[in-house]
C-alpha cells in the first residue's frame, strides 16, 4: 500500500509527499493530475472527497474513508483475480470515482498502471498487452469502429464497462469476444461498483450479481437497497427501480426519478430510450415538460433537424401509443455530465424553455 507502479516504474509513498512531484508528472496534464491525486491519497488524512456525476440533478461532494476505497479495490481484485504485476489501463478522468478507483486498485493489487489521456479512443496508442481496463460505453463503442483498436479491445484480459448503461447493440457487438467483459453497477456513494454482469461468453446474463460481502434488497417503493459494510457505514437506498431474482441477482428497470407521469400513465424514461436506440441514428434524450392537462408531457430531444419527421415515424412504429412523445425538439447537442451521462436535469430545463418558446411563437400568430 506504500507504493505504486506507473508505466513500469515503482514509486514509494515518500515520492508524493515531497515538495516536487515525481518526473512522470511532466509527461502530460493528465499525468500531472494523477500525481496530484496520489499526493492527496498518500497525505496523512484518512479521508477523501469525491464528486458525484450529477446526471439527475446538481453534482455533489461526499467524503469517504480511504480504507473504504481500499476495501472496494480488494473486492474487485479478488473477484477478477487481479494479481501483482498485471497491467491496468487508466483511461478515465480522475475527477470522478471510476478513475480514482483504477488508481486505488493498482495500489492495492500491485498492478502496473498504464496511463493514457481520457478520450473517446483510449486504445489508439496502447500497443502493449493489458490485463485489466475500465471504460465507459462510448469508449468501447468507438474502439469497435477501428479494426486495430477492436483487436486490442479483444485482447484486454478483463474489461469492465461502467458510467452508463450498456445498450443491446453494444452488448451484441461484444457477445462473441473471447475476453471476459462485464457491465458494472454502482455509484459514488458505494465507492464504485458493487455488482457485475457478464455480457459475453457462457456466463453472460441480463442480471447483476453482487460482489462478495454485498447484500441487496428492495425498499417498499421497489428501489434497490445496498448493504455493503466493507465500503459503506450504512445501507445505501438508491433511486434505481430493480427486480430481484430468488438467487440474489437483480435487474435495473430504471430510476424512480426518471419516471414521467403523463395523465396517470407512468413512463420509464430509460425503457423508452432503449426501444428507440436501434432506430435513431443521432444523439437523443427523453425528458418531460409540465402540461396543464396531463401533468407531464413526454418530450424527445434530437440533434439532427433532418431527422425530425423521420423520428416521428420511428416513434409511431416502435412505441406504444402512451409512450409517444407529445413534443419533438431539435437541439444542437444533448446536455451531458462530465463523465458522459445524459444530464437529466439540464435536459428537462432545456425542454421546458423550448416548450415555452414554442407556445410563445404560436400565441404570436
Radius of gyration of the chain (CA): 22
Q: With beta carbons less than 8 A apart as the criterion, state whether 226 and 238 touch.
A: yes
Q: With beta carbons less than 8 A apart as the criterion, state whether 312 and 284 touch.
A: no
Closest to 79 (Cα-Cα) out of 191, 193, 267, 212: 212
> Could you tell me the pTM of the whole model?
0.83
- Cell digits of residue 11: 514509486
- Helices marked H in 64-118 — which ranges? 66-80, 97-109
Measure the CA angle with vertex 212, ends 55 and 103; round to 5°: 55
Strand (E) or helix (H) holding 286: strand 284-291
pLDDT (tens, 9 = 90+) of the chain, 365 residues, equals: 899 999 999 999 999 999 999 999 999 999 999 999 999 999 999 999 998 876 555 678 999 999 999 999 999 999 999 999 999 999 999 999 999 999 999 999 999 999 999 999 999 999 999 999 999 998 999 999 999 999 999 999 999 999 888 988 899 999 999 999 999 999 999 999 999 999 999 999 999 999 999 999 999 999 999 999 999 999 999 999 999 999 999 999 898 889 999 988 989 999 999 999 999 988 999 999 999 889 999 999 999 876 667 899 999 999 999 999 999 999 999 999 877 789 999 999 999 999 988 776 555 54
3-state SS class at 200: coil
Residues in Cβ contact with 349 at an 8 Å cutoff, skipping those fewer than 6 apart: none
- Cell digits of residue 209: 450479481
Question: What local confidence, expressed as pLDDT, does residue 51 receive?
Answer: 86
- Cell digits of residue 205: 446474463
Residues in Cβ contact with 305 at an 8 Å cutoff, skipping those fewer than 6 apart: 330
Strand (E) or helix (H) holding 110: none
Strands 158-161 and 132-135: parallel
Question: What local confidence, expressed as pLDDT, does residue 163 receive?
Answer: 87
Closest to 328 (Cα-Cα) out of 355, 301, 297: 301
Closest to 121 (Cα-Cα) out of 93, 96, 146, 157: 146
Amino acid at each position: 500500500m506504500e507504493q505504486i507502479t506507473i508505466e513500469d516504474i515503482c514509486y514509494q509513498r515518500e515520492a508524493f509527499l515531497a515538495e516536487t512531484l515525481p518526473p512522470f508528472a511532466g509527461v502530460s496534464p493528465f499525468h500531472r493530475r494523477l500525481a496530484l491525486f496520489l499526493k492527496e491519497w498518500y497525505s496523512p488524512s484518512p479521508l477523501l472527497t469525491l464528486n458525484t456525476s450529477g446526471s439527475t440533478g446538481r453534482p455533489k461532494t461526499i467524503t469517504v474513508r480511504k480504507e473504504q476505497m481500499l476495501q472496494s479495490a480488494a473486492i474487485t481484485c479478488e473477484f477478477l483475480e487481479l494479481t501483482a504485476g498485471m497491467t491496468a489501463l487508466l483511461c478515465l478522468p480522475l475527477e470522478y470515482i471510476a478513475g480514482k478507483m483504477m488508481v486505488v486498485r493498482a495500489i492495492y493489487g500491485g498492478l502496473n498502471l498504464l496511463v493514457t489521456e481520457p478520450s473517446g479512443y483510449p486504445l489508439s496508442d496502447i500497443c502493449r498487452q493489458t490485463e485489466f481496463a475500465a471504460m465507459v460505453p462510448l469508449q468501447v463503442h468507438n474502439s469497435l469502429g477501428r479494426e486495430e483498436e477492436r483487436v486490442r479491445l479483444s485482447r484486454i484480459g478483463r474489461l469492465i464497462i461502467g458510467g452508463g448503461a450498456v445498450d443491446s447493440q453494444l452488448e451484441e457487438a461484444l457477445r462473441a469476444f473471447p475476453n471476459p467483459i462485464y457491465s458494472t453497477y454502482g455509484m459514488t456513494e458505494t465507492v464504485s461498483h458493487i455488482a457485475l454482469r457478464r455480457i459475453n461468453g457462457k456466463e453472460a446474463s441480463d442480471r447483476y450479481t453482487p460482489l462478495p460481502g454485498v447484500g441487496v434488497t428492495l425498499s417498499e417503493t421497489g428501489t434497490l437497497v445496498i448493504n455493503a459494510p466493507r465500503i459503506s457505514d450504512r445501507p445505501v437506498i438508491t433511486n434505481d427501480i430493480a427486480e430481484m431474482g430468488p438467487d440474489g441477482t437483480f435487474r435495473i428497470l430504471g430510476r424512480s426519478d426518471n419516471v414521467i407521469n403523463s395523465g396517470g400513465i407512468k413512463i420509464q424514461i430509460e425503457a423508452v430510450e432503449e426501444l428507440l436506440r436501434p432506430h435513431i441514428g443521432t444523439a437523443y434524450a427523453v425528458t418531460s415538460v409540465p402540461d396543464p392537462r396531463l401533468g407531464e408531457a413526454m418530450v424527445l430531444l434530437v440533434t439532427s433537424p433532418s431527422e425530425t419527421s423521420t423520428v416521428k415515424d420511428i416513434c409511431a412504429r416502435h412505441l406504444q401509443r402512451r409512450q409517444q412523445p407529445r413534443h419533438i425538439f431539435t437541439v444542437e447537442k444533448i446536455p451531458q455530465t462530465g463523465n458522459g451521462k445524459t444530464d437529466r436535469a439540464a435536459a428537462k430545463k432545456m425542454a421546458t424553455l423550448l416548450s415555452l418558446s414554442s407556445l410563445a411563437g404560436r400565441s404570436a400568430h
